[in-house]
């Protein structure tokens, strides 16, 4: 009779163990995703930590694997959930683990948030929904890395009829001309306007130039029956109303 072979195939056993660990890891990953989904659906806005929100958003782009390290690295790099969602797509892709698809998934959320906030502003008189306007401006401008100047033109019912992007750069007469601001108001049929710009430094406190240009535009508007309701400055640290400060 041939002698029986009692040798043990260690390579095959290692391969089997590795496969089992891989399957176990996949199952654990699926379970983690399911638990996050359940917490989000049942627990409301505060059910997930910021990194868990990012984890869940990344699921759409990263079909398998643990997205937690990527989510935490994004928060570390950009400082906050809002910082991540408002970051430039190319900057997002410089974080290890974030590709074009992941960056697009994150940006889509920021776009949706802007459009939701904007709809709250366009459907109601601006002055009676002031907080909605501030929320919209914060979402849209607080995290910009350049200084941007906008003029919101309003009709006789104080509804938004034109959100005009004047330009990027410091707010002074080289960047924004009082006569041009008032002329556009007349062209679009506006009877009032709100000046808006952001401070990339984070602090919304007005500069001397901010105050001077606001007063010049307000004076030009008074001569032609165009009311300057306010000048709102937005920063990561909050907002400032020049009207509330008594500067208009």
pLDDT digits (tens, 9 = 90+) for 158-207: 999 999 998 887 665 556 789 999 999 999 999 999 999 999 888 899 99
Look up residue 112 and give its two tokens.
């949706």
Q: Are 227 and 214 in contact (CB under 8 A)?
A: no
Of 136, 163, 166, 134, nearest in space to 148 by CA: 166
Report residue 231's pLDDT band, with 50, 70 and 90 as the boundaries: very high
Q: Are 239 and 134 in contact (CB under 8 A)?
A: yes
**How confident is the prediction for the chain on average, in pLDDT?**
83
Is pTM beyond 0.85? Reply is no
pLDDT digits (tens, 9 = 90+) for 14-54: 444 444 444 444 555 677 778 878 887 887 767 788 988 89
Q: Which domains does the chain have, with CATH numbers?
A: 24-114 (1.10.150.20), 143-241 (3.40.140.10)
Over residues 116-142, mean pLDDT = 84
- The full DSSP string for 186-245 is HHHT-SEEEEEEE-TTS--PPPHHHHHHHHHHHHHHHHTT-EEEEEEEEETTEEEETTTT
Look up residue 239 and give its two tokens.
């907002």
45: left (phi over 0), alpha (psi -120 to 50) or beta: alpha
Per-residue model confidence (pLDDT) at position 13: 43
């Amino acid at each position: 009779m041939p002698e029986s072979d009692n040798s043990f195939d260690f390579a095959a056993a290692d391969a089997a163990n590795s496969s089992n660990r891989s399957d176990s890891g996949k199952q654990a990953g699926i379970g983690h995703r399911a638990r996050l989904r359940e917490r989000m659906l049942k627990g409301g806005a505060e059910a997930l930590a910021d990194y868990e929100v990012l984890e869940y958003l990344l699921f759409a782009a990263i079909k398998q694997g643990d997205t937690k390290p990527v989510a935490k690295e994004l928060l570390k790099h950009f400082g906050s959930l809002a910082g991540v969602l408002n970051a430039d797509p190319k900057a997002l892709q410089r974080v290890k683990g974030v590709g074009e698809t992941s960056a697009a998934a994150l940006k889509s959320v920021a776009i949706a948030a802007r459009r939701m906030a904007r709809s709250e502003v366009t459907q109601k008189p601006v002055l009676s929904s002031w907080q909605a306007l501030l929320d919209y401006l914060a979402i849209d401008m607080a995290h910009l890395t350049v200084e941007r100047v906008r003029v919101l033109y309003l009709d006789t019912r104080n509804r938004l009829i034109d959100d005009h992007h004047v330009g990027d750069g410091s707010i002074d007469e080289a960047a924004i001309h009082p006569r041009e601001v008032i002329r556009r108001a007349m062209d679009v049929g506006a009877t009032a306007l709100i000046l808006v710009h952001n401070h990339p430094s984070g602090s919304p406190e007005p500069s001397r130039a901010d105050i001077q240009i606001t007063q010049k535009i307000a004076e030009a508007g008074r001569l032609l029956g165009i009311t300057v309701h306010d000048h709102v400055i937005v920063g990561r640290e909050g907002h400032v109303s020049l009207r509330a400060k008594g500067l208009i």
